[in-house]
Amino acid sequence: MPMFQRPTAIRRKTLRMILGASRDAYPNEFGAILRAEHGVITELLLIPGTVGGRRHAIFQLHQIPPDFTVVGTVHSHPSGVFHPSHEDLRLFSKFGGVHIVTGHPYDESTWGAWDYAGQPVSLDVVA
């Protein structure tokens, strides 16, 4: 398991990129790895094979690179429900970072962040 500092914030630019990618993938799921600097999520890292047609985008979570800047995952729920599914919780439990789930229609109020145990994590949206 990589060592990391759990992020407390996300750049608005990064959040918008996530929401845009979620919309682009609709009706499929979008999935990516999150990277952070100094506790702020700043970057997305796409995992090959996660976009387009896969029923569950973060199924390839085991491909998370061993890199301390990797702090978690993000994926979209075309159903609009942005709480984690049972399948999500199983995957989250394997990685102690932060896991963002976006829900259709993917605006700035239809997403949430969760820890490895499925507890809500509060992330400030910063400039």
Minimum CB distance to Zn ion, residue 81 (Å): 9
| Catalytic status, residue 29 | yes
Please name the residue that has the structure tokens 């979620």. Answer: 22
By CB atoms closer than 10 A (0-12, 13-18, 19+), residue 111 is buried
Residue 77 CB, shortest distance to Zn ion, in Å, is: 5
Helix (H) or strand (E) run with residue 13 in it = helix 12-25
- Using the rule CB under 5 A, give the single segment among 13-21, 66-74, 88-96, 115-123 that binds Zn ion: 88-96
Q: Which stretch binds Zn ion (CB under 5 A): 19-27, 42-50, 83-91, 113-121?
A: 83-91
Backbone angles phi, psi at 66, to 5 degrees: -75, 85
Work out whether 88 is an interface residue with Zn ion (CB under 5 A). yes
Give the C-alpha separation, 125 to 116, whole Å: 21
Identify which of residues 89 and 126 has a Cβ nearer to Zn ion in the complex: 89
Kindly list the residues in this chain that would bind Zn ion in the complex (CB under 5 A).
Answer: 85, 88
Catalytic residues: 29
